[in-house]
Structure 1
């Protein structure tokens, strides 16, 4: 499916509880904040819509400004402690009335090394609104992932921190190098990234 038929959804509302007091998405990585790597890669592609689900502006003012400058529609998740499902529900509710959108590409803001080529592979593997295309390192399913419009009602019923994991596990799996699918949860994760020449 062409990216012009897809809404890219950047999930960036997590409370960073395992990272300590600091906001992991604003932590410096190779000269810019963690979120900026994902945000810029996704925004460089020709999606029908760019949507970001974030914490309130008072909690993440710089992130709001960066996203607005790159053309993202900002959806505020006032209750990020509910888990990732709450962010997905809010994003789908925003995208659902936009008829030209035939599916969403779920992207995690704390996965800074996913390349444009992998996002493209996921989109191209989607054939219609029934498609579910997940990323895998060969062991488990994960975002980034494409989910077709037919599954939007199922996404709207999600609860908790499992997100769309069950749905993704039954979809087509697009394998890529495990390092590209790493996410940053702890200061140790970030330190390992800084010391890894391939990270």
Structure 2
């Protein structure tokens, strides 16, 4: 890969739906789940394990009150980017700004532990300057999503809870067809910790 692609792991959201069920003191990113490889790890570690080793420019965006998440990110080669808000848009903007010199960015959600590394690689392979690369499972858009260089201004202008989907209209959308239900599976409630 001649272009330089950075991974931005978004791990600042508080997981309110998860906490409503599991308890206010339960951080879903630290909850144990069994990965598709059969190993039990925390949700955030499963996400980090699944990142292909070729993607070595890594940024993990989180809040200062999650030292365990930050430590895990460091253990997997991430530069830790602390943010005060928990909004998705703020996290994306901050992560892209931290890697502003790169040719593209792959947005990885910290609560999606069941994505196959091969699906991630296929999305990354389709990142180009003027396009959005998105996995499609049975007709539905999933994650992670890749953005080329021309999206930098739009990504860095995001704020609040608004994610980057609105930017899809500003360039080509490359649909990467995958056979991987993990691209749609986020851990928003405790029962989603078990992949079926």
Flag whether TM exceeds 0.5 (same fold).
Answer: yes
Give the alignment's TM-score, normalised by structure 2: 0.85
Write 1 or 2 for the structure with the bigger share of helix.
1
> Mapping of 1:1-199 within 5 angstroms?
2=1, 5-20=4-19, 21=24, 22-30=26-34, 31-42=40-51, 44-56=52-64, 59-80=65-86, 83-96=87-100, 98=101, 101-126=102-127, 128-168=128-168, 171-177=173-179, 179-181=181-183, 182-190=185-193, 193=194, 196=196
Structure 2, unmatched stretches of 5+, are 35-39
For this pair of structures, how many residues does the alignment match?
183
SS of 1:106's partner is strand
2:90 and 2:158 in contact (8 A); partners too: yes
Cα shift at 1:178: 5.5
Separation in 2, partners of 1:3, 1:121: 15
Using a 3 Å threshold, how does the CA distance of structure 1 residues 189 and 155 change in structure 2: closer, same or farther? same
Give the aligned CA root-mean-square deviation in angstroms.
1.9
1:123 and 1:146 in contact (8 A); partners too: yes
Cα shift at 1:146: 0.9
Q: Is the deviation greater in 178-187 or in 30-39?
A: 178-187
Give the alignment's TM-score, normalised by structure 1: 0.84
Structure 1, unmatched stretches of 5+, are none
